[in-house]
Amino acid sequence: MLRGFFKVKFFRFLLVGLMNAAFGYGCFAAFLYLGLHYSAALLLATVLGIAFNFKSTGALVFGSRNNKLILKFVAGYGIVYCANVAGIAGLKLFGLDPYLAGIALILPMALLSFFINNRFVFNYA
């Protein structure tokens, strides 16, 4: 039974994640286009995405409307942000431009985000 719940929750996470990723990557690409360094573009996109994603992920994926979890959510996003910046930097060493590196890291960052949110943020939801 728990295994089925996990699969359903993960499926909802993927669907909501598509919406969140489109929003976040759209912001990231727009900030890159405006001339920001990829780390600054990613930081601004992350900050904008936190408010958007907290409500959608909390309510639609984990069934939580507990606003007290925002600090845990922000901390989780801090970890994802650091991993994402490191990933983009690493992929740039292999010749990928930041646009493609950002796309390449969407799925690994989504998996990391799910793990953090499921285990540490919304674990009591």
Domain ranges of the chain: 2-121
Q: Are 61 and 16 in contact (CB under 8 A)?
A: yes
What per-residue confidence (pLDDT) applies to 6? 54
What per-residue confidence (pLDDT) applies to 20? 87
- CA 33-38-44 angle, to 5 degrees, is 85
What per-residue confidence (pLDDT) applies to 10? 82
What are 78's two structure tokens?
């801090």
Percent of the chain surpassing pLDDT 70? 93
pLDDT tens, 64-92? 989 999 999 999 999 999 999 999 999 99
What is the chain's length? 125
For residue 3, what pLDDT band results from cuts at 50, 70 and 90? low
Interatomic CA distance for residues 23 and 2, integer angstroms? 31
Interatomic CA distance for residues 57 and 33, integer angstroms? 28
